[in-house]
Structure 1
Amino acid sequence: MKTIFLVAFLSVWVSTAAFAQEDLLKLAEAGDSAQKEKVSATFKATRLINGHTVETNGAGTLLFLISHRFGTLNSGAYNFWGLDQSTIRLALEYGVTDRFTVGVGRSSLEKTYDGFLKYKAVQQAAGGSPVTITAFASTAVKTLDWPENEAKYEFAHRLTYSYQLLVARKFTERLSLQLAPTMVHRNLVETGGGETNVYALGTGGRYKLTKRVSFNAEYFYLLPSDVADTFKNSLSLGFDIETGGHVFQLMFTNSQGMVEKFFIPKNVGGWNTGDIYFGFNISRVFSLGKEKREW
């Protein structure tokens, strides 16, 4: 009797193990399939024009970014329509993981240093999430000397904080769109009026014209406030050109600054008055890890 029971038990155990192994294989294959179905390269670069995209650097990838804006086109022939003037920002961005990027930069405008953290929380996937969601937070420090009465200012007055939730969807191989609810907190309102917290809604997208060229548009709408009554919404149009490890971005924008503290709550340029800046971003990728970034 014991022998019959033992044989029956072993038969059931072997059958169960076989089914379990088959189920595990199916789960593994399903996981691999889901991994392959993830939507990548929603945008060509980590910047749409001035603002960030949902893209993060791959793990072990270092990105060197040069951003440059000339003067306004309405500055006339004497200033060669803005080409005699310039504002520049240099930055390094490193992919700690495929989802988490850290970055630092320095702008000539107000001698501003900035640092940011960027985390891709959700990845768009076929049969999964319809969008990619990336959280972004940055701090900017103004190091330009105060014009006067410096004694009344503290270091905290130099700081500005920006927070964004970047939500994007790649609709087709050619079309990608993004929303960017934004809050900028200013420890000091230098204009003497307006709120310390500024809220805006960023929108934008790209349309691929060829395999390596896309048309980009970006707009930041200031929600009704004293700031919105005083300053202008940022509107930018441009092109991405990808050449191997480089991405060239050429643009026209009414924003001179290249970090959030400038082009969202302090933008004074208007397209209707010719306050248009021509500029470019150049990004170069260096692979410090085993895998190279896929554009």
Structure 2
Amino acid sequence: MKNLFIIITLLGIQTQILAQDDLFEILDNEASQDKNYVTSTFKGTRILNGHSIENRNKGILEFVISHRFGRVNLGPDELYGLDQSNIRFAFEYGLSDDIMIGLGRSSFEKTYDGFVKYRALKQSSGAKSLPISVSLFASAAYRSINDFEPGREPSDSDRLSYTTQVLLARKFSPGFSLQITPSYIHRNSVELLKDPHDIFAIGMGGRVKLTKRISINGEYHYTINPLESIDAKNSLAFGIDIETGGHVFQIILSNSITMIEKSFITESTDNFFEGDVHLGFNISRAFQFGKHKKSKARKIK
């Protein structure tokens, strides 16, 4: 009887150990299924001139003012470009956490533009991790300025141009992010017959974080088949991001005076390294409408 009691006791201990092992295995499996999304690849929705991978969350309305002054090498008579200016203001809204729309108006060529940006994939770690984030961007621009010769008024269709981009970004560390932006731009009408209606470009932008609220950004767009009617230059910009609560303030030095994709990618004519630099800034203010439901997936900043 005593031996039987010992055997039963040993079996009970073994069963308990196995049960604990099964529990630990279940917990490990559950932990491995957690998906940790990377956030704040960039601080705002713009790297500098161009869009970043970031969206406004659902229910957030953002008012954006962008300003570009004249060239700093114009000298003191033009107050180093400050006497000249180009402004764009826009409203941008998060329809969902993954879809953002916007409408804007630029003083340059009195252009109206609208866009939609869809966040298709998010960089994550854990189960089924993804090494990059991917967004799709599409915009249309309407050039409303009346600078045509008498009798040669363009149609509404001739005034339109379109941009499509794929935004590919990766946050390599808390302090460094990089984005690649293949772009396709179509014009319904062109200045000269030898000008391409369809232009392809590759953009690259990066962010180096200095403090919790300050970073240095850079951006470059290489045009593969530029316009022939102008002496087009590739767009180059450097700047500083400053976050202050609900604001993101960007101070920018760029050879582009325009702030929408069809213009700064394909129509920049200034040479950054010859002093044709435009001082500018982007400033935004976000407003929350309704309650935003937080995702259950953990986020990595």
TM over 0.5: same fold?
yes
Is the contact made by 2:227 and 2:266 (CA closer than 8 Å) also made in structure 1? no
In structure 2, the residue matched to 1:162 is 163
User: Given the superposition, is the C-alpha separation of residues 216 and 148 from structure 1 closer, same or farther in structure 2, using an over 3 Å criterion?
Assistant: same
In structure 1, the residue matched to 2:179 is 178
In structure 2, the residue matched to 1:75 is 74
User: Given the superposition, is the C-alpha separation of residues 28 and 290 from structure 1 closer, same or farther in structure 2, using an over 3 Å criterion?
Assistant: farther
Q: CA deviation at 1:44?
A: 0.2
Unpaired runs of 5+ residues, structure 2, are 1-22
Alignment partners' CA distance in 1, 2:66 and 2:82: 15
SS of the counterpart of 1:78? Answer: helix
Number of aligned positions between the proteins: 270
Letter in structure 1 aligned against 2:268: N
User: Given the superposition, is the C-alpha separation of residues 246 and 152 from structure 1 closer, same or farther in structure 2, using an over 3 Å criterion?
Assistant: closer
What TM-score do you get using the length of structure 2 for normalisation?
0.84
Alignment partners' CA distance in 2, 1:32 and 1:90: 43
Larger radius of gyration: 2
Q: Does 1:146 align with 2:147?
A: yes
Unpaired runs of 5+ residues, structure 1, are 1-21
How many percent identity over aligned positions?
46
Q: CA deviation at 1:76?
A: 1.0
RMSD of the TM alignment (CA)?
2.3
| Residue-by-residue CA offset, 1:84-127 (whole Å, 9 max, x unaligned) | 11100000100000000000000000000000000000000013
Q: Does 1:247 align with 2:253?
A: no
| Residue-by-residue CA offset, 1:54-111 (whole Å, 9 max, x unaligned) | 1111000111100000110111110000011110000010000000000000000000
Q: Quick check: which one's helix share is greater?
A: 1
Alignment partners' CA distance in 2, 1:175 and 1:268: 30
User: Given the superposition, is the C-alpha separation of residues 31 and 55 from structure 1 closer, same or farther in structure 2, using an over 3 Å criterion?
Assistant: farther
In structure 1, the residue matched to 2:221 is 220
Is the contact made by 1:105 and 1:114 (CA closer than 8 Å) also made in structure 2? yes
Q: Does 1:263 align with 2:264?
A: yes
What TM-score do you get using the length of structure 1 for normalisation?
0.86
Letter in structure 2 aligned against 1:54: I
Letter in structure 2 aligned against 1:199: F
Alignment of 1:1-295 (within 5 A): 33-34=34-35, 37-127=36-126, 128-191=129-192, 193-225=194-226, 227=228, 230-291=231-292
Q: CA deviation at 1:230?
A: 3.4
Is the contact made by 1:70 and 1:279 (CA closer than 8 Å) also made in structure 2? yes
Is the contact made by 2:196 and 2:225 (CA closer than 8 Å) also made in structure 1? no
Is the contact made by 2:48 and 2:218 (CA closer than 8 Å) also made in structure 1? yes
SS of the counterpart of 1:126? Answer: strand
Alignment partners' CA distance in 2, 1:75 and 1:46: 31
Deviates most, 51-60 or 223-232:
223-232
User: Given the superposition, is the C-alpha separation of residues 144 and 38 from structure 1 closer, same or farther in structure 2, using an over 3 Å criterion?
Assistant: same
User: Given the superposition, is the C-alpha separation of residues 136 and 227 from structure 1 closer, same or farther in structure 2, using an over 3 Å criterion?
Assistant: farther
Is the contact made by 1:227 and 1:265 (CA closer than 8 Å) also made in structure 2? no
